[in-house]
Every structure is written in C-alpha cells, then in structure tokens.
Structure 1
Amino acid sequence: MITENQYFNGNVKSLGYETTEGKSTIGVINPGEYTFGTAQKEVMHVIEGQLQALLPDATEWINIAAGNQFEVPANSSFKVKAAVQTAYLCQYR
C-alpha cells in the first residue's frame, strides 16, 4: 500500500511504502526550515537539490548535496533547511 503524507502546512510531502527491508518514504521539501522527529533509525538520501542538517547533539549545520545521505538515530529529532525544492528518500530501519 502507498500512503500519502503531508507536513508543515503542505511544505513537505511524501509517499510512503514498504520494502522487505522496512518502511521508506520519498518526497519533496519546499524551501524553509523544519524539525523532524523519528522513532526509528532514519537514513535520509538527498536525491535532487540540497539540504543543510542539524543532527542530534550537533552544534553546527552540515551541507548535504544531491547524491549524499545522513543518518539519524532512533528516538531523536533533527532540523533541516532547504533553500530550493529538494527531493529525498528516507529509509526507516
């Protein structure tokens, strides 16, 4: 089954699906700054565009260009900033 998700007044939209490895979502983030929480370990791949991320326990933002990824541990939150529309794939493991 495919699920539709919408966050932050429609500024982040994704489609969710299940694989043999677990749940994943693929979506688009509009320009802005957002805080996400996750109950599971999350691997976020930037497909197109670019994000800045402030990871748990970090004090400095990092740049994540298209073709790169970052990981977030379970039961934590993180922030992202997008200057342009950015496509992503999140894998929950």
Structure 2
Amino acid sequence: MTTQFDNVSVVKKANIYFDGKCVSHNIQFADGTKKSIGVIFPSSLTFNTGAPEIMELNAGKCRIRLKGETEWKNYEGGQSFNVPGNSSFDIETLETLDYVCHFG
C-alpha cells in the first residue's frame, strides 16, 4: 500500500458531504488520474458513483452493501473494495474511516 502520493495537484476546497460526516480533498496526478482522500465519521450513508471506484481503506472499520445486493460485507484498514460505475453503495462506518478513492 502506498503511504504517500508525490507530484500531485490538490484542490484546496474540501468536499463536505452529509452534513460533515464525509470530508475529502480531490487530488490529480500529472497523467490526469484523479483520486480523493478523506474520512467518513461513524454514520450510515449512501454514495452514488459516476465512474467505477476502488475504495482503499487506510484505517477504520465499515460494512458495505453494493446496489442490488442484500448481504453486507465487512472491511477494515488495509483492505479495499470495488464499486461499479453509475451505481451506488450503502456504507455503515463503525469507526472513523480514513480512505483513498481511486476513480476510473
């Protein structure tokens, strides 16, 4: 797992969602690749996706349910999960979640 990103542009303005339960910043690499890095505080939320995403968890614990599925799956720091594009997922954050979202 990468511990830092070098040579990136960072958007100063924070993305604040769900009344502050999720806070992230967008970063862009020289090759045009985009990611967001942030935290999700303990809560139950639903996220919609445009592009496919890989959610890489640095720390914390959560459970997720992808759109169309009935079963919840548990994840924690050091793990990741994939979300299809033009979809959604429900997330229940059990401990503050530190994450990197890889788009595309």
Category of TM-score, reference length = shorter chain: over 0.9
**Corresponding residue pairs, total:** 93
Q: 1:50 to 1:78 in 2, by over 3 A?
A: same
Give the AA of the match of 2:21: N
Query: 1:15 corresponds to which residue?
Result: 25
Q: What residue ranges of structure 2 are gaps of 5+ in the alignment?
A: 1-8
Question: Which structure features the higher share of strand residues?
Answer: 1
Residue number in structure 2 paired with 1:74: 85
User: TM-score under structure 1 normalisation?
Assistant: 0.93
Q: Give 1 or 2 for the bigger CA radius of gyration.
A: 2
Match of 1:29, as an amino acid?
I
Aligned-pair identity in percent equals 34
- TM-score, normalised by the number of residues in structure 2: 0.84
Distance 2:65 2:19 in 1: 21
1:38 and 1:84 map into 2 onto residues whose CA distance is: 23
Deviation beyond 2 Å, 4+ runs, structure 1: none
Matches within 5 A, 1:19-38: 19=29, 20=31, 22-38=33-49
In structure 1, the gaps of 5 or more residues are none
Larger relative contact order (CA 8 Å, sep ≥ 6) = 1
